[in-house]
Chain A
Amino acid sequence: EVQLVESGGGLVQPGGSLRLSCVDSGFTFSSNSMSWVRRAPGKGLEWVANINPDASEKYYVDSVKGRFTISRDNAKNSLYLQMNSLRAEDTAVYYCARISIVVESSDYYGMDVWGQGTTVTVSS
């Protein structure tokens, strides 16, 4: 069974940096695009960033462009999110998720496996 385990969250001051990690214990990591999604306190889910299997394509929500960087190391089955210039509004639980083709031989995609989340708190 595929499991995703996040780490790296914590308390950081505004303007600071954190690096989140997500390790996939399964065997298909290098074949899937991956995503970071967050949920701020009292708010809904917000997609943050995506990366394709060979890391040639990366996408970000506008609010984190230029501050966050998504990356991956397929040899280590690991996904990362480098977060710089953190703001109070970045406070959230951050989840990594696997993006899979959910209808065989189609272009229907879904986030079918999620980690348990890691909490990031930006506060002085």
Chain B
Amino acid sequence: DIQMTQSPSSLSASVGDRVTITCRASQSIDSYLNWYQQKPGKAPKLLIYAASSLQSGVPLRFSGSGSGTDFTLTISSLQPEDFATYYCQQSYSTPLGTFGQGTRLEIK
């Protein structure tokens, strides 16, 4: 089974900061990588698919990059509504499902 490892597990940042979250797969997954955002008490939301494609309606300050085993999610200028937990997910192997352990983004 493919394992997904995110770093850091938590992160404190200020409004306006540039933030990068990393996700590493235990084997190559090409570009089969999704990112989700989950706010407290809410359902997860698909942000980025195929490693770098923005889901409809997601602000342009979010971007994704990487291929193979190493991926990043970048928020170029943090906004108050971005403080949430972020998860990566591999979609390379059946079944679609495996998530990283999450990165909690907190206000400094």
Main secondary structure of the interface of A (DSSP, over half): strand
Q: Quick check: which of A11-19, A23-31, A77-85, A105-113 contacts chain B, the rest being far away?
A: A105-113
**Contact in complex: B102, A103 (CB < 8 Å):** no
How many cross-chain pairs have Cβ atoms below 8 Å apart between A and B?
A: 75
**Contact in complex: A95, B96 (CB < 8 Å):** no
**Contact in complex: A46, B99 (CB < 8 Å):** yes
Is B7 engaged at the interface, CB distance under 8 Å to the other chain?
no
Given A61-B97, A103-B53, A108-B49, A45-B43 contact (CB < 8 Å): no
Query: Could you tell me the distance in whole angstroms from the C-beta of B7 to the nearest C-beta in chain A?
Result: 13
Q: Which residues of B contact A35 (CB under 8 A)?
A: 96-97
Q: Which residues of B contact A44 (CB under 8 A)?
A: 85, 87, 99-102
Of B42, B49, B85, B97, which one neighbours A59 at CB under 8 angstroms?
B97
Is B78 engaged at the interface, CB distance under 8 Å to the other chain?
no
**Contact in complex: B46, A110 (CB < 8 Å):** yes
Is B94 engaged at the interface, CB distance under 8 Å to the other chain?
yes
Of A50, A61, A103, which one neighbours B50 at CB under 8 angstroms?
A103
Q: List 18 A-B contacts (CB under 8 A).
A: A33-B96, A35-B96, A37-B97, A44-B100, A47-B95, A47-B97, A50-B97, A59-B95, A61-B97, A95-B43, A102-B34, A102-B53, A103-B53, A110-B89, A110-B91, A111-B44, A112-B46, A114-B44
Residues of A within 8 A of B (CB): 33, 35, 37, 39, 44-47, 50, 59, 61, 95, 97, 99, 102-103, 106, 108-112, 114-117
Apart from A47-B97, A109-B96: 20 A-B pairs, beta carbons within 8 A: A33-B96, A37-B44, A37-B99, A45-B36, A45-B44, A50-B95, A50-B96, A59-B94, A97-B44, A102-B34, A102-B49, A102-B53, A102-B55, A108-B32, A110-B46, A110-B49, A110-B91, A112-B46, A112-B55, A116-B42
